Copies of this chain bind each other. A is one copy, B any other.
């Protein structure tokens, strides 16, 4: 047992462990979503537009913690691919109202199937639904929703 390299100091650092775990989970996500060519942020945008058709662009960006300026390129990419459409918000000509196109609706249906399977896989790794809930509870304590 020749102790060649001791990396144990970082093993107890919560931020470091969060970073590594998040990177790993995102890499798995990327593999599963490669066929749909959807990145995590793109999936989240489609999902929230599906749940909030006609929602305001800035509201959606803020909900995801994405700066307005950075959201522009993201939504434009989805628009160009024909997955989303930007309409006018009734009563405010400045604001964009976001919608899924039929292609976008078909995509989110597929994406949800993949995501649900991935989520089941993660829950299995964690040891069950109780453990998943425990994880989410702890993450919430660490980083409260509006903090």
A64 at the interface (CB under 8 A from B): yes
Contacts of A20 in B (CB 8 A): 65, 139, 143
Report which of B6, B25, B48, B52 forms a contact with A15, defined as CB distance below 8 A. Answer: B25
The answer on a CB contact under 8 Å between A10 and B44 is yes
A126 at the interface (CB under 8 A from B): yes
For A95-125 the 0/1 string (1 means CB < 8 A from B) is 0000000000000000000010001001001
Residue of B nearest to A44 (CB): B10
**Which residues of A line the B interface, CB within 8 A?**
4-26, 29, 40, 44, 47-48, 51-52, 55, 59-60, 63-65, 115, 119, 122, 125-127, 131-132, 134-136, 138-143, 147
